[in-house]
Structure formats: C-alpha cells, structure tokens
Amino acid sequence: MRRSELEVNLKRAVITLNGVVQGVGFRPFIYRLAHHHNLPGVVFNSTEGVVVEVEGLEQQLQAFYRAILAQRPPLSRIIDARLVFTEPAGYRDFQIRPSVVDQPPTVLVTPDIGICDDCAREMFDPADRRHGYPFINCTNCGPRFTIMRGLPYDRRRTTMDVFEMCPACQAEYEDPGYRRFHAQPNACPDCGPRAWLASARSPRFFPPDSESAGRAGVFEEAREWLKAGKILAVRGLGGFHLLCDAHHQDAVRALRARKHREAKPLAIMCRNMDAVRGYCQVSSEEQALLESWRRPIVLLEKVWGGRRLAPEIAPSLSTLGVMLPDSPLHMLLFDDDLDCLVATSGNISDAPLVTDNREAFARLGQIADGFLLHNREIINRCDDSVAAVVAGEPVVYRRSRGYAPQPLEYGKQLRSVLALGGDQKNTFCLAKGSRLFLSQHIGEISGIASLEFLTTAVERFMDYFEIAPTTVAHDLHPEYRTTRLARELFSHGRPLVAVQHHEAHLASCMAENHLDEPVLGVVLDGTGYGRDGRLWGFEFFHGSLTGFERFAHLEYTPLPGGEAAIRRPGRMLFSHLLAHLGESGVERAHRLDPGWYEPGFDALRRQIETRLNAPLTSGAGRFFDAVSALLGICRLARYDGQPAIELEAAISHGGAPVAISERYGFDMDTGGEPWRVLVAPVWSGILEDMERGAGVPVVSARFHNTVIAMVLEVLAKKRQITGINKVALSGGVFQNRYLLENLIQLLKLDGFEVHFQKRVSTNDGGISLGQAVIADAMLKEGE
C-alpha cells in the first residue's frame, strides 16, 4: 500500500477514562503502552479523568484500547471508558501534556496508599539516596487525599507545592520510564519534607537547621524514647498517632490515664507479619487485608499463650485491633528489639484527630512525652480505617484512610443530595450522577471542633467534586446536632428530608448491595429516634427505598434516666426484670448476685412506673447491656458498646462450644401490628440457668443463639405472608461476629438470600449513605 493510502486510513482515537485514574501512575502507563504499540499522540489529566489521543490504523487503536483496560495500573479503577474516532491531528511522537481544567470535575480522588515494596526496599538500602527517608513515595504509594487542595491531581494543587524538587528528583519526575514519573509527592532528603523530634517541654514547630532532620538519627532517638517507656505523638499521613511500646505495661497504663481512655481497646501496630503472628491468629484473608495498600486496622483473634503484650491493651476481649505500618515514617520506628507499638488516634476524647504541629502541643502536650513531627501540611484529616474478615469476606467497620473519598457506584442516576448522617460515628454523603461520595470518618459530633470538622469537610467535598446539593437529608431525631446543622447552616432554601435512623441503616445496606426490589430488613442497633417518638433498635422492616413498613420489633422496655441507663447497664437490667418478670424477677436476680443492684433503684422504680424520664425502647443494644450486667461482665460502660462487646467475648472464655440449637425460649405477639417479640421467657431461662450454676460463657452463647432464633422465626413468618426471600441486615449490633456469622449461615440454610454490609460501615458510620438514597427515592416519588 502506498504512503498516501496509509494516511487516508489513519484515524485518531480519543479515549476518556474516568474513575480512580489520577495519582496511580496512569499517564506513565499510557506513555509506555503507546510506545510499545508504536502509536503517536498525547495523554493528559483533565477534570473528566485521563484523556488519551493516539493515531494509527483502526485495528491498532482497538488493540491499544483493549490493552489499556486489560493491563491498567493495579491501584487504578476504571468506572467509565469512552472511545471515539475522529480525524487525525498529525501527531509525530507521544507526549504527556500538562493538565487541562476546563469542565466540572468527574474524576475521582485517590485515597492515601500504603508504602509499596519497592519504596520500602530503597528506604532500607544504605546505598540508596533515600536511605532512611521517611517521606519516600512513588506513583504506586504515598499520600493523596490528605495532601490534596483541588483537582485535577497535580503537585501545584497539593501541599507538596512548597517543596521545589532538586535536579535528581525533577529528572525522575520527568522520566516516563521510571516509577516516579509524575509522582506528585516525589521528594528526597535534599528537597522534601523533614522530620524532627521535640520534647513536650520544649515545643519546636518547625524543623531545625541541622541536616540530620528526617534522617536515621531522628528515628534512632525516637526508638530509644519508645523503649524507655515514653509516649510519642507522631504526625503521620492523615493526623497524629499516640504511640508507646506495647510490651511496656507502665507506658500503656500512662497512655490510658493521660488520655482518659479507661477501658476502650487500643490498637497495635506491628513491624511485619512475623510479628503479627506472634500475637494473633491470622487467616490468609486477614493477611491479605492487613497487607493491602489500604492498610486498615484489622480485628484478629488473640493467640492464647503467645507472646505477651501489656494486658491493658484490650482487657476482657479475645481480639486485638492490628495494623501494619501505613507509611515509611512509621516503618522507621521499628527494629529487632521493638516489633509492636500501641497506636491510638492522636486526639482527646471524642474530639477530632489532631493534624497541625502547634495544635498537637496544645492538645496532646499533657499526654505525650515527645513529638515526632514533620513539615508536610495535612489538608484532609483522615483517621485509620477498621475492618475484619466476616464469613470469609472483608468487612469495613470504620471507613476512612485508604477508602475515602472513593465513591460507591449506585448504578442509577441520583438527585444532588447532601446527607449529614448522625451524631455518633459520623460520616456525611454527597450524591451526584450515579455516585455516592461517602466521607472519611468524622466521629462524634459533640462540640464546636467536631462541627467545624464536619462543615469544613462537607465544603471541601462539594468543591472537589463540584456538587451543589439541591436537598439536605438528616436524622429524624429533632435534637441531633446534625439535624440542627441541616436546618441552620446547610438548608439555604433547600428542602430538608428527615430520615428515620433505622430505615437509613437498612437503606445503606440496600444501596451497597444494589437492592431495588422489596426486601425483609433486620436492623439491630443501640437506640434511634422512632416514628412513634420511642427509641427503636431491634427492628424488622418490609419494603423498598420508596417506603418501609415496620412489621415487628422487640417489645418495649423503659430506659430509666436515658443516657444514664446506657452508661450504667444495671439500670437497664432492673428495668427489664421489673417490666417483664415483675418484682419476683428482680428478687431472683438479686439473690444470685446483688452486685448489679444500686441503692438508688427504689427511686428508679418510681421513675419507671411513672415514665418520668424513662422513654420506651426496643433497642437491641440495651437488651445486650442488661444481660451483660446480670452476668457481671460489665456494669459500668466506659465506652460505646462495651457491655455487648464483652458479652460476645465471654463466649470464647468457655470450654466446649455451645451448640447453636441451645437457646432460651421467647414468645411472639402477632395479634396486632407491628408484631412484638416478647422477652419474659428469655429472662426466666437465663435466671434458671444461673440458678443451676451454668457458667457465664454458656449463658452468653445461649443468649446470642436466642437472638438469632428470634430473627429467624420473625423472618420465616413474614416470608410465608409476602413471599419475599431477600434479607438485608444492618445496624451496629451486627459488628458482633458470632451473631452475624451464625445468622448468615442459618438464614442461608433456610433458603434466604442474605445481604449484609461489607464496603460501608454497618454501624452509624453508614447511615448517611442510607439517608442519601432514601431522600433521592422520595424526591423521585414526589415528582
């Protein structure tokens, strides 16, 4: 074929790739692939994603397009790919061009990525120029979301813009054949961020002039401090950690005392997998989750008789929260004599994570003995994520670093909605197009600092993704701070949609699992404001996102003193016994163990009888609390969910396992609507067991089996009426692995199709997602 005929057949392919395609090495990948296929053209970042233009014969271009989809970088995620043919532009070679900002952004922001093996190898190589450098990174790892000011993702839109690259780093950055090609946080000890140590008594907000800042000497000294029992506040990717030697009992006790964290479990950070196996049992699925680039805290079973850690780390529990180092800075804190650190969030109780050096000295100076600081600014605070393997699958309990702000693909077009979540374990959600942008973990909305964190994060998400919500969704509870925030700050003439708490839980599970048709929903939770003004929490629903029917619930019990009954579960026990067994039940429980009974219970009795500050609740969490108090497991809740968490842990403290068929009786009242699950037989059975001398592990297991049986029987009865076979499970109580795994197994054996939450928190961290999709459904229904 003559040249002129070839030119006539030449075409230009314009390929637009949307999804997680910026900050993951996509442009260098395209550059190398184009050279492999001998195709001229260009690639550049835009607010739409990555745009590729190449010229050649159509069959060459189609082969190139297929290769992109098949060989994409491992950290990328292509959600939308478009190929359009047009007239050639006359390209002679292949180039990477500067980013183009000409349209509203549709590209996704990449989460922070744990250190890759190549960077770790270089950092520990004495011959490498980045040996011992705590900010080493490449296109396959390093900070992304936490340093990002705007889109598209370029160095000038990150907090790395103040660090001018040295000639060596610039050469790497511009070399398409090198893995640091266009790695936006690229740096080295000569030109990048620096780390330094400071004593709590001698604040130093900026790096010293010494050339050793950020090099090996700093970390040698930090390790010595840790080995000596010191507590260090360490500035990481998304904020500060508080660290101490996990073997040093006095250090762990001091950390608890200074942080006023009396009993809540502390997470540990281990040097490597060999260290993890010394303390915990690890399945292949759990190891994969630990070693994934997301680097979450993973809940693992302790190895009984394994290497000894300070017992105060996770008292009364059979599990440990374990993570591997998520950054090179953290990796440098370990050596052969220091393989495990306590790693807890750098904040004071219920306040947001500290991110700034000055703020750290002000807020953490009474907790930490020293500070390991750096001068790379953190834009978006982002706490550690928490996950577990449940029924063989990874399940996220706290969705934050490594996950946020990647959206969920909903599969259908959504109205632009801002959903503000609840007041505990808060996240927010923004809906745009077919995507649901769930925020990082915000936490407890309990004061000005947390409200400022929430409002700032909302504004940043709206800016990043150019979302202008037309509707604001919030919890039905009129006194929630997020409800007031919706009314006072975010409404601005926008319609407000109040969403019932447990319906939002269920909708979150349905949205994650793409369930459009009617389902049977089970929500086991603490307490949430119900449509009848009572406090719900052990709920059964039937319906779809356009409307749910609450068809059954646990029978109501007074919650004497409101929050006081949650903190002192003996109050809830007293109320349950009095309401469902009468005075004889109270007397039997008192004879077995008077330790749960408080002197003020006579006045509490009048409070229950008159319903004065004793709202009725059907909460599953409060039911578990009461049993925990009766068994002497937990009679003072010093953190959220403690009585129920320790009640589950008690099962593993027994000898021979209890068969799932061993349970207590219960009754059902199906004569009216909604049905009620009656608990008097449960309490009678527990008291009889205790009177016969049954051990705590046995009673705990039988109680859990009873709750499972309740759910199975209610769902089976409703299936007979409706024919609906799909079940969706949600609510914080389903973080109980014994409960969830056994329930899933038995539901499947009974022929149910079971859906539960894996990518989004089943606790209150997921309700903003449910609020968003319910508001969208209501708006469409109204139209």
Neighbours of 472 (CB within 10 A): 22
- The label of the residue with tokens 């000409």 reads 102
Q: What is the DSSP letter of 23?
A: S
Choose among 762, 151, 766: nearest CA to 408. 766
**Are the C-beta atoms of 539 and 618 separated by less than 8 Å?**
yes
CA distances from residue 396 to 185, 391, 439, 730, 734 in whole angstroms, order as listed: 28, 13, 14, 13, 12
Confidence at residue 3, expressed as pLDDT on a 0 to 100 scale:
46
Distance between CA 735 and CA 739 in Å, rounded?
8
Low-confidence ranges of the chain (pLDDT < 50): 1-3, 211, 213-214
Confidence at residue 21, expressed as pLDDT on a 0 to 100 scale:
84
Distance between CA 626 and CA 64 in Å, rounded?
64
Q: What sign for the dihedral angle of Cα 313, 316, 317, 318?
A: positive
Choose among 559, 555, 577: nearest CA to 568. 559
Distance between CA 682 and CA 687 in Å, rounded?
9
Distance between CA 679 and CA 619 in Å, rounded?
13
Confidence at residue 7, expressed as pLDDT on a 0 to 100 scale:
62
**Are the C-beta atoms of 635 and 595 separated by less than 8 Å?**
yes
Distance between CA 364 and CA 259 in Å, rounded?
9
Confidence at residue 366, expressed as pLDDT on a 0 to 100 scale:
95
Token pair listed for 184: 């936006």
Cis peptide leading into residue 189 (ω within 30°): no
Written as one letter, the residue type at 303 is V
Distance between CA 538 and CA 529 in Å, rounded?
12
Q: What is the DSSP letter of 532?
A: T
In DSSP terms, 390 is beta-bridged to 393
CA distances from residue 37 to 32, 64, 68, 89 in whole angstroms, order as listed: 9, 7, 11, 18
Neighbours of 98 (CB within 10 A): 9
Phi, psi of 85 (to 5 degrees): -100, 140
Phi, psi of 591 (to 5 degrees): -65, -35
Confidence at residue 106, expressed as pLDDT on a 0 to 100 scale:
55
In DSSP terms, 115 is beta-bridged to none
Token pair listed for 283: 């399945």
What burial class does residue 257 get, using C-beta atoms within 10 Å of its C-beta: 0-12 exposed, 13-18 middle, 19+ buried? exposed
Confidence at residue 108, expressed as pLDDT on a 0 to 100 scale:
73
CA distances from residue 553 to 160, 183, 290, 711 in whole angstroms, order as listed: 54, 54, 38, 10
Choose among 370, 270, 248, 265: nearest CA to 314. 265
Confidence at residue 738, expressed as pLDDT on a 0 to 100 scale:
97
Token pair listed for 218: 């700093």
In DSSP terms, 11 is beta-bridged to 56
**Are the C-beta atoms of 399 and 441 separated by less than 8 Å?**
yes
Confidence at residue 119, expressed as pLDDT on a 0 to 100 scale:
97
